[in-house]
Chain A
């Protein structure tokens, strides 16, 4: 059986219970305190004497933390509720600070108090139990909890905002399908999609073209292994403005872990670096192009670290030094030509100061061949102005050097030969000249200036003609201009006023000059002083003239005597003697003819052959001469084959001399034949005469020469035909001077036909 607690025992319970209890009367508005237990006294730092029998509101002053005394109102309300409703009423969590004993300070306290009515036997409320519980700890705890939740909320808000506004693209892809769980606007911009289009859908469904670019594999890898992946400058093809474009990303894939550590997706963080990559590529392209350009011109390049002495070189650099591949700097230095090392050291010293490196030096290749290299560079300095680096180029200039040397040699040779030429032109006893294509003189040598006394400038253009005596000037100028027009060889004889005060004879010659492309550039010519020759020629001509004259004088008297004697003998009837004298006269005629030829040649050569041109009947002259000549030969018959010819204007004597020459030659050179045919004909306003013989003929190679001075039949029969070899020369000169032509046709051994043609008088 259960133990029963005595009535007095409940008092003990009341006083020992840990809950604070105040028993209060219903005597509103006093609400007298009827009793108080120990726990209450302890909790409120009060004693029994100050409480029991007092009004509850008198015992406890107004709450110092409750300036508006809301607690009192609330307490009264709670008391009234409990009394009226006869059910407990609870006031929760209100603050009521309690004084700290021995001080005037208060301690913050929160309370939850229940007012429980106790009914009497009549069912009326006898008193009520006022039991406050100290909930300060609880309240404090709750406040802390609320504050931390608030802080968490703020933090989360901040994170979200950061996430959403982040300039990098961020997304969370969930599951094996990589459904977009979260995506920020930056990534949406990169994808050219709106968040609505992306959210809740598999990223590969929204961006089907990204499948197969390797991103799916990377995502799988991160999700399955939990190892993050970092990509830099990763290319991706994305739709931009309706077309697929290659863009570049730096990105990180991180596994997304659940609270329990399982991986449910991937967090992707991505930045587009297309511009940077493109810029980098542009720079790389530019560098590549530069490198190619440098290679293409055979430039070697180097990068010399002056602090470590380390040098990076290109293959071409190595090649120029005779190495197949780049070698350490010391190896390069070792192949410099000993004579050029000082120069190189000096250049490096200067480069440290001036910032520019430049020198040309020889390097010796493994095959001992010597090559020229041109080194150029720019010095770079550190913050302390200390040179730390040289960057530059290297060029093989062997060929240039060689060419330069060759050129210098050539120049030296040219200078030598120019000097030689100058000396020659100055020393030459010949005037030298040059003209341009218009005939203006552009050069004369010292010799010419010495002769004429005209200065260099005075001779230029047409100035030189002032040296010519006035009578010859026009003739010379016309001749030069006519040769210039025809671009033919120029030749003229003229007299100049020499500085010695006398007149000098000159013969000038010039050859037309052409460039390689055939354009005419003018003349180069010479001028020889022929005064001496002219004088000698004159003396010779004078001598021959006088000699011929002197020879003719005795011949004339002998011939006169001979003819008188012949006549006297004939008169006496001494025919035989007369005949002999007649033959003597014939020989005198031959002598006369020889003297005449000599004189004629002299005159032809000096241009003094005189012509007395007048009209005469050509056929009459021919008949007359044939008649005379027939008398000189018994062996040959001179056959006339003439047509009417009409009048010729010319020197009858001279033309007769030609006909006589041709017929006498025909007689002379056809000793075995018995006839000679003389033809005349008229054609194209020309009269021509041909003398045909049937004699020895002329060899084809000699045909051209028969009209030359002193030509004689050569060979076996040389001595069988007498003569000076002047007749045909004189004849051809006469015919030419009379404006006609002379020619010959012949067959060796069968005879010759000599012809000439003269213009008929119009």
Chain B
């Protein structure tokens, strides 16, 4: 890892957001954490290297955000990993253009391997 990667984590649950951010920082990533999904769409300038996005957020659906990102030329190449407590929506997550999917609760190893895999891609 010769360059520190920036990962943006979006989850409306503060505890999960906190725990995941601590974990990723502990693992050596630069982490940008926000409980506000709307922020993703108003990102200016530098984009993160990877977006970790919760699906069920109050008032917003991570799949919709993902779809918009993937339709936008400037954000289209940003790897998106959707996270949901419901494993059943994996299919719809991938259909929304997500690069990967992770079901809650997850093993930290699974999270890290998915991040690594998608950063490398």
Contacts and interface: CB of A to CB of B under 8 A. Distances in A.
A556 interface: yes
Nearest to B107: A563
A556 B16 contact: yes
User: By CB atoms of chain A within 10 A, which of B26, B56, B105 has the most?
Assistant: B105
Contacts of A610: 88-89, 91
B85 A552 contact: yes
B85 A549 contact: yes
Contacts of A553: 13, 15-16, 85, 104
Contacts of B104: 552-553, 555-556
B121 interface: no
Contact of A563 (B56, B88, B91, B108): B108
A502 to B, nearest CB: 28
Given A552-B105, A588-B105, A564 B87 contact: no
B88 A561 contact: no
A603 interface: yes
B87 A557 contact: no
Contact of B56 (A549, A561, A588, A599): A549
Contacts of A563: 23, 107-108
A560 B16 contact: yes
Interface string A590-627: 00100000010001000011101000000000000000
User: By CB atoms of chain B within 10 A, which of A548, A558, A560, A603 has the most?
Assistant: A560
Interface string B19-35: 11011001000000000
A344 interface: no
B99 interface: no
A559 B105 CA distance: 7
A435 B71 CA distance: 56
A9 interface: no
A556 B106 contact: yes
Interface residues of B, number: 22
B18 interface: yes
A653 interface: yes
Contacts of B90: 612
A653 B87 contact: yes
B19 A557 contact: yes
Interface in A152-167: none
Interface in B24-51: 26
Interface in A204-221: none
B34 to A, nearest CB: 16
A549 B85 CA distance: 6
Contacts of A536: none
Contact of A554 (B15, B91, B106): B15
A422 B13 CA distance: 61
A747 interface: no
B18 to A, nearest CB: 7
B108 A567 contact: yes
A568 interface: yes
B88 A603 contact: yes
B85 A568 contact: no
User: By CB atoms of chain B within 10 A, which of A554, A608, A609, A610 has the most?
Assistant: A610
A557 B16 contact: yes
A298 B26 CA distance: 115
Contacts of B88: 603, 608-610
Contacts of A609: 88
Nearest to B26: A564
Contacts of A608: 88
A568 B26 CA distance: 8
B105 A567 contact: no
A560 B108 contact: yes
A560 B26 contact: no
Contacts of A549: 56, 85-86
Contacts of A559: 105-106
A557 B107 contact: no
A612 B91 contact: yes
Given A549-B86, A603-B88, A610-B88, A557 B18 contact: yes
Contacts of B19: 556-558, 560-561, 564
Interface string A535-565: 0000000000000110011111111110110
Nearest to A609: B88
A568 B20 CA distance: 14
A556 B105 contact: yes
A504 to B, nearest CB: 28
Nearest to A653: B87
Interface in B84-121: 85-91, 104-108
Contacts of A588: 105
Given A556-B105, A557-B18, A564 B23 contact: yes
User: By CB atoms of chain A within 10 A, which of B15, B26, B88 has the most?
Assistant: B88
Nearest to B56: A549
B23 A557 contact: no
B13 A564 contact: no
B67 to A, nearest CB: 19
A553 B12 CA distance: 10
Contacts of B107: 563
A336 to B, nearest CB: 91
Interface in A648-694: 653
A609 B89 CA distance: 10
Contacts of A603: 88
Contacts of B22: 560-561, 564
Contact of A592 (B16, B26, B91, B105): B105
Contacts of A558: 19
B23 A560 contact: yes
A588 B88 CA distance: 21
Contacts of B18: 557
A568 B27 CA distance: 10
A612 B106 CA distance: 19
Nearest to B92: A610
B101 to A, nearest CB: 10
Contacts of B86: 549, 599
User: By CB atoms of chain B within 10 A, which of A555, A556, A563, A567 has the most?
Assistant: A556
A364 to B, nearest CB: 88
B17 to A, nearest CB: 8
A564 B29 CA distance: 14
A609 B91 CA distance: 13
Contacts of B20: 560
A552 B13 CA distance: 11
A557 B91 contact: no
B16 A564 contact: no
Given A609-B88, A612-B91, A555 B26 contact: no
B108 A556 contact: no
A497 B93 CA distance: 35
Contacts of B106: 556, 559-560
A8 B109 CA distance: 224
11 contacts: A549-B56, A552-B85, A556-B16, A556-B105, A556-B106, A559-B105, A560-B22, A563-B107, A567-B23, A599-B86, A609-B88
Given A556-B105, A568-B26, 17 more contacts: A549-B56, A552-B85, A552-B105, A553-B104, A555-B104, A556-B19, A556-B104, A558-B19, A560-B19, A560-B105, A561-B15, A564-B22, A564-B108, A567-B108, A608-B88, A610-B89, A610-B91
Interface of A: 548-549, 552-561, 563-564, 567-568, 588, 592, 599, 603, 608-610, 612, 653
Of all A-B residue pairs in the complex, the 6 with the closest CB atoms, nearest first, are A560-B19, A557-B15, A610-B88, A563-B108, A556-B105, A552-B85
